[in-house]
Amino acid sequence: MAEEKTFVDDIDRSRYDFRNEDGESFKVEEGLTPAIVEQISREKNDPEWMREFRLHSLEVYNNTSMPDWGPSIEGLDMDNIVTYVRPHTKMSASWDEVPEEIKDTFERLGIPQAERESLAGVGAQYDSELVYHNVREEVAAKGVIYTDLESALHGERAQMIREHFMKLVPPTDHKFAALHGAVWSGGSFVYVPPGVSVEIPLQSYFRLNSPGAGQFEHTLIIVDEGAYLHFIEGCSAPKYNVANLHAGCVELFVGKNATLRYSTIENWSKNMYNLNTKRALVEEGAKVEWVSGSFGSHVSYLYPMSVLAGRGARSEFTGVTFAGAGQNLDTGCKVVHNAPDTSSYVNTRSISKSGGISTFRSAVVVNEKAKNSKSAVSCQSLMIDDVSRSDTIPAMDIRTDKADIGHEARIGRISDDAVFYLMSRGVSEEEARALIVSGFAENVSKELPLEYAVEMNNLIRIEMKGAIG
Amino acid sequence: MELLNVRDLRVSVEDKEILHGLKFTANRGETHVIMGPNGAGKSTFGNILMGNPAYQATSGSILFNGEELLDMPVNERAAKGLFMSFQNPIEVPGVSLENFIRTALEQRDHKRVRLWEFRKEIKRTLENLMMDESYASRDLNVGFSGGEKKKAEILQLLMLKPSLAILDETDSGLDVDAVRTVSRGIEEFQKDKDSALIIITHNAAILSQLHVDRVHVLVDGQIAAEGDASLIDEINENGFARFEEGVNGNG
């Protein structure tokens, strides 16, 4: 009995893997040339500096080699990726104006309910354009700007965007950052003025809905001095045969004494290459809190980075990664301590099953001027069966002797004793295992708003279904 | 009325036979005590009744309400009315005691638990066991002291209301006050005359405060002696030496 149940069936993703008929109004030719980048720029009505920025990024892209570390991305054929797909609709101010087909897709993902219940505003991205956008009046009344990035490039904060766009993640950072700079499309811009506390989380959904379509949304968030914001990014994509690429970029600027919480639940379909780059600049006395759940994709490279730039700046990272059959998820985080009295706290869980590979990769850099800084990194792994893999690759670069650094890693399995114990109270074996796994991932679910925590637990339950032979 | 009937039960752990042909019966409303020295097979008996997959029955049968338990999955045994209080309750991070009991009730009985009544009952039961209300929302057994874990087991017993409860060394590691509290919880369970209780122990402290119908002395995988509650006093005075000689002499 114990032998048989170690094999875990692949999960039924039918609940998430659906798509609508291909109905894009516009597609660029496959493959990437300056002419295509020019075309994108023209279509988007870019300001001149952005057009130049895109072309420059394309040059960097062509001169940069593919990453030679981490999981293989050989299956990714760049010539095959349609970089830009636009839905029928322009921006909509109200739900009524959103086309039925698109509504239907969102409804099956449960998005409208979530929106109605607790959201301050929604910028839901369908393919590469924002189709629905609604900022609650009370948030706008506080001077908070929450809009799509394209509009913002022509709005009152155009200069601010020019000063911040891809300054934290320059196109020279890596090949996919360069690609992003050349073809980015869609995404959110948020500005929170000094002292303003945004009580309700703002959120954004991104998903792909076109064969071979890449997604390159850019999120730029600036939280000014003493302000507070919680931003939630939720992803779920339908499945296709052609390799799909996600090379988004998130740049967070957290001003003096401000706090920004950035939560993500990613559930890309299992053919997705998720090569996302996220970075935060944290000023004096400010704090960034990352909450990150990675469930989907074929391959992920995801290491949100915090640059602690001012005295007393803090970073907290809480993450969970779940790698099932055919998945190789390389996730973790990076912290750079550049100022005195800074602190970072990393707490991650990774789960692997059915041959999935889950790697936790972290880098903590404490520079010489970061005296009296603290860093604590803790990662725990849970392997559901004998064919899965879990690795931990922590790196530390400490350049001052006045720092307090801790690291802890643990790898475990679901013990037969624990399953027996739970079953002895009447729960089925499947439920017992799901309870243990959900409990293991509780570090993240307890940090999420209730509806997201429920969705994450459902996701774990779906992943664990058929987990016994 | 007969609840449990164990016949010719032979049980192995990792190919080593621990129980050598055990016989045992219990009726509804009765409290049985199984005593014996360390290594006699007391816990093995509890675990095979509950269905721990680490223990294999090589012969015999376990009839519960006339139904064969061997080969029945653990959770189905629970659904039939079995319960075991663990000697070493397992810590389950991220699952609160309260949510776990509610999930167990719903899964076992296949019906929704009425939240309001459930809350009231768990609160009252916690009070009876001198446990702070906050235990309900704490992760199952995580960071609990030895005594707290045992109390949490009794809490589950009283909330789940099984028809046969096996208490495996529930008294071990408890201080005097905790033994008194746990005894009170067990007494509460004994009030239900449709249920039976099997108390597995190697010391008699907890028994002095409880009504006991039948005592079974287990030595070297066999029942060496049976009797009424007076047998407890005899063991308290003389230990197990007399029974061990008997078994050794026979074997």
Residues A143 and A268 in one domain: yes
Q: At what angle do helices A100-108 and A111-118 cross, to 10 degrees?
A: 80
Contact B93 A415 (CB under 8 A): no
Average confidence (pLDDT) over A19-42:
67
Distance CA B85, CA A426 (A): 13
Q: What Rg do the C-alpha atoms of chain A give, in angstroms?
A: 22
Say which range, A365-379, B89-103, B228-242, has the weakest mean pLDDT. Answer: B228-242
Q: Are strands B214-219 and B222-227 parallel, antiparallel or unpaired?
A: antiparallel
A302, A325, A341 - which closes a domain: A302
Q: Which residues lie below 8 Å from residue A219, measured CB to CB, with a gap of 6+?
A: A149, A187, A188, A189, A204, A231, A233, A248, A249, A250, A251
Has residue A144 been placed in a domain?
yes
Say which range, A13-22, A192-201, B76-85, has the weakest mean pLDDT. Answer: A13-22
Q: What is the pLDDT of residue A246?
A: 85
Residue A106 has pLDDT above 90, yes or no: no
In SS3 terms, B161-172 reads as: CCCEEEEECCCC
Least CB–CB distance from B92: residue in A2, A424, A439: A439
pLDDT-derived band at A66, boundaries 50, 70, 90: confident
Contact A426 B84 (CB under 8 A): no
CB contacts, 8 Å: B13 with chain A: none
> Which residue from B minimizes the CA distance to A442?
B94
Has residue A151 been placed in a domain?
yes
Residues A441 and A298 in one domain: no
Least CB–CB distance from A428: residue in B53, B105, B107: B107
Has residue A161 been placed in a domain?
yes
Residue A81 has pLDDT above 60, yes or no: no
Residue of A351, A415, A419, A423 to mutate, testing the B interface (most B Cβ within 10 Å of its Cβ): A423
CB contacts, 8 Å: A417 with chain B: 90
Q: What is the mean pLDDT of chain B?
A: 92
Q: Which residues lie below 8 Å from residue A13, measured CB to CB, with a gap of 6+?
A: A239, A269, A270, A462
A244, A267, A302 - which closes a domain: A302
Which residues on neighbouring strands pair with residue A125, listed in sequence order?
A: A130, A206
Residues A60 and A189 in one domain: yes
State the pTM of this model.
0.83
Average confidence (pLDDT) over A215-226:
93
A1 interfacial to chain B (CB closer than 8 Å): yes
Residue of B69, B74, B91 to mutate, testing the A interface (most A Cβ within 10 Å of its Cβ): B74
Q: At what angle do helices A450-464 and A429-440 cross, to 10 degrees?
A: 130
Contact A431 B51 (CB under 8 A): no
Has residue A326 been placed in a domain?
no
Average confidence (pLDDT) over A36-41:
86
Q: What is the pLDDT of residue A100?
A: 60
> Which residue from A minimizes the CA distance to B103?
A427
Which residues on neighbouring strands pair with residue A406, listed in sequence order?
A: A376
Q: What is the mean pLDDT of chain A?
A: 81
CB pairs under 8 A between A and B: 87
A302, A326, A361 - which closes a domain: A302
CA distances from A424 to A330, A396, B191 (A): 37, 44, 23
Residues A278 and A425 in one domain: no
> Which residue from A minimizes the CA distance to B52?
A420
For residue range A265-314, what is the model confidence (pLDDT) as tens digits? 888 777 788 999 999 999 999 999 999 999 888 999 999 999 999 999 99
Residue of A380, A414, A415, A421 to mutate, testing the B interface (most B Cβ within 10 Å of its Cβ): A421
Longest dimension (CA), chain A: 68
Residue of B43, B76, B107 to mutate, testing the A interface (most A Cβ within 10 Å of its Cβ): B107
A309 interfacial to chain B (CB closer than 8 Å): no
Residues A298 and A419 in one domain: no
What is the phi/psi pair of residue A233, to 5°? Answer: -115, 120
In SS3 terms, A172-222 reads as: CCCHHHHHHHHHCCCCEEEEECCCCECCCCEEEEEECCCCCECECCEEEEE
What distance in Å separates residue B84's CA from the closest CA in chain A?
7
> Which residue from B minimizes the CA distance to A443?
B94
Question: Looking at this predicted complex, what is its ipTM?
Answer: 0.96
Residues A159 and A290 in one domain: yes
Distance CA A246, CA A69 (A): 18
Q: Which residues lie below 8 Å from residue A363, measured CB to CB, with a gap of 6+?
A: A303, A332, A334, A335, A394, A395, A396, A397
Amino acid at B80: K
Q: What is the pLDDT of residue A30?
A: 53
Distance CA A271, CA A239 (A): 7
Q: Which residues lie below 8 Å from residue B215, measured CB to CB, with a gap of 6+?
A: B32, B33, B35, B226, B227, B228, B229, B231, B232
Between these two residues, A446 and A195, which has the higher pLDDT value?
A: A195
Residue count of chain B, please give it.
Answer: 251
Residue A11 has pLDDT above 80, yes or no: no
Q: What is the pLDDT of residue A420?
A: 97
Residue A325 has pLDDT above 50, yes or no: yes
Has residue A349 been placed in a domain?
no
Least CB–CB distance from A427: residue in B86, B103, B156: B103
Average confidence (pLDDT) over A418-424:
97
Residues A427 and A281 in one domain: no
A25 interfacial to chain B (CB closer than 8 Å): no
Share of chain A above pLDDT 90, in %: 53
Q: What is the pLDDT of residue A454?
A: 79
pLDDT-derived band at A89, boundaries 50, 70, 90: very low
For A286, the token pair is 């400010």
Q: Are strands B139-140 and B92-96 parallel, antiparallel or unpaired?
A: antiparallel
Q: Are strands B31-35 and B55-64 parallel, antiparallel or unpaired?
A: unpaired
CB contacts, 8 Å: A421 with chain B: 86, 89-90, 92
Burial of A119 (0-12, 13-18, 19+ CB in 10 A): buried
Least CB–CB distance from B75: residue in A416, A427, A435: A427
CB contacts, 8 Å: A438 with chain B: 94-95
Q: What is the pLDDT of residue B53?
A: 94
Share of chain A above pLDDT 70, in %: 75
Highest mean pLDDT among A128-132, A443-447, A451-455, B92-96: B92-96
Provide the domain count of chain A: 2
Residues A421 and A292 in one domain: no
What distance in Å separates residue B203's CA from the closest CA in chain A?
24
Has residue A390 been placed in a domain?
no
Average confidence (pLDDT) over B38-61:
95
Has residue A284 been placed in a domain?
yes
Contact A74, A113 (CB under 8 A): no
Parent domain of A424: 415-469
Contact B100, A435 (CB under 8 A): yes
H or E stretch including A413? Answer: strand A403-413
CB contacts, 8 Å: A425 with chain B: 78, 83, 100-101, 104, 108, 156, 160
Least CB–CB distance from A440: residue in B73, B90, B93: B93
Has residue A162 been placed in a domain?
yes
Interfacial A residues in 419-438 facing B (CB < 8 Å): 420-429, 431-432, 435-436, 438
